[in-house]
Amino acid sequence: MNLRTAPFLLLFLLNTALAGPYCVSHRALGYGELENSLSALEAAGKAGASGIEYDLHHTKDNKTILYHDKKFKRLVKGKGCPVGQDVHDLNYADISEKCFLENGERIPLFEDSLKLMSAYESILFVELKDFITDSDFDLIKKYYGDRPEKLMLISFSMEALELALEKRKTDPFFDKIKTILLKKYGFVGNIDKIDGIDAKYINKKRVKRLKKAGKLVGVYTKDSKKKIKKYLRKGADFITTNEPILCERIISEKN
């Protein structure tokens, strides 16, 4: 192999591995288990989900947990559990000993999810609800160091993604972790620094322009056959959905 062409071949293979269209299970839903639980992740992984999205928050003592809402209330139970408080105001000990998910599981840690999902081939879409820490980066490298193309960092917060972009300056490994900005609408400003966007609404012209610029384009959260087909026609690379089985079937029939 010509050494000068090797980097371009690697980039081609990486882009091929991420090529769409494919479906992303929203909060690991669609396979009969509770959102953002280890059971849901495992069920999605075992089912061969192409992509799985889940959410991260940080506690007051910087422990990284799987949970969607800012306020610690929905889908949790337990005697003495501090229901109703902000996740960021709680120490992990306050919830790890007293709180359970509605399915009986303890509140999962980020490491729990990475350790579990590293056994599967699904692409993880890890949504940063607040920020990301050096410990989080270390865990990603520990469990996905041999296949960074299987994990993406996504967020509505450009500031959270910029922490990942800063990490690239000191550790080239994180050049291989895609960063995706979540937006309600597809129109955004300068996104040269990030690898793509995931929009609730976007027109075909914008999709084409972004893809021409080498950006990944996804849409969320499309659950009906009509909407899934609509955004496939627009050229979306991936579709986040609560109905991944339906989505996968539509794509399979399309191909």
Q: What is the pLDDT of residue 16?
A: 39
Q: What is the pLDDT of residue 19?
A: 60
Q: What is the pLDDT of residue 6?
A: 42
pLDDT value at 242 more than 50: yes
pLDDT value at 11 more than 60: no
Among 234, 232, 176, residue whose Cα is nearest residue 17? 176
Give yes or no for a contact between 118 and 45, defined as CB atoms under 8 angstroms apart.
Answer: no
pLDDT value at 2 more than 60: no
Q: What is the pLDDT of residue 61?
A: 97
Residues, the chain: 255
- Cα–Cα separations (whole angstroms), residue 229 to 116, 234, 246: 32, 9, 11
pLDDT value at 9 more than 60: no
Query: Which residues have a Cβ under 8 Å from the Cβ of 21 and sit 6 or more positions away?
Result: 232, 236, 237, 238, 239, 251
Q: How far apart are CA 129 and CA 100, in angstroms?
A: 21
Region 176-191: mean pLDDT is 91
Cα Rg, the chain, nearest whole Å:
18
pLDDT value at 185 more than 70: yes
The structure's pTM equals: 0.92
DSSP secondary structure of 34-86: -TTSHHHHHHHHHTT-SEEEEEEEE-TT--EEE-S-SEETTTEE-TT--TTEE
Residue carrying the six token digits 């959270």: 160
3-state class of 8 per DSSP? helix
- Give 20-74 pLDDT, tens digit per residue: 699 999 999 999 999 999 999 999 999 999 999 999 999 999 999 999 999 999 9
Q: What is the pLDDT of residue 4?
A: 44
Q: What is the pLDDT of residue 20?
A: 67
Residue carrying the six token digits 């959102």: 35
Q: What is the pLDDT of residue 252?
A: 94
Name the token pair of 96. Answer: 């790890």
Give yes or no for a contact between 186 and 168, defined as CB atoms under 8 angstroms apart.
Answer: no
Considering the domain 6-69+109-254 in this protein, what is its CATH number? 3.20.20.190
Name the DSSP letter for residue 105.
P
Q: How far apart are CA 248 and CA 149, in angstroms?
A: 20
- Give 116-144 pLDDT, tens digit per residue: 999 999 999 999 999 999 999 999 999 99
Name the DSSP letter for residue 176.
G
- Give 82-107 pLDDT, tens digit per residue: 999 999 999 999 899 999 999 999 99
Work out the percent of the chain whose per-residue pLDDT is above 70. Answer: 92
Work out the percent of the chain whose per-residue pLDDT is above 90. Answer: 89
What are the residue boundaries of the structural domains of the chain, listed by start? 6-69+109-254
pLDDT value at 188 more than 90: no
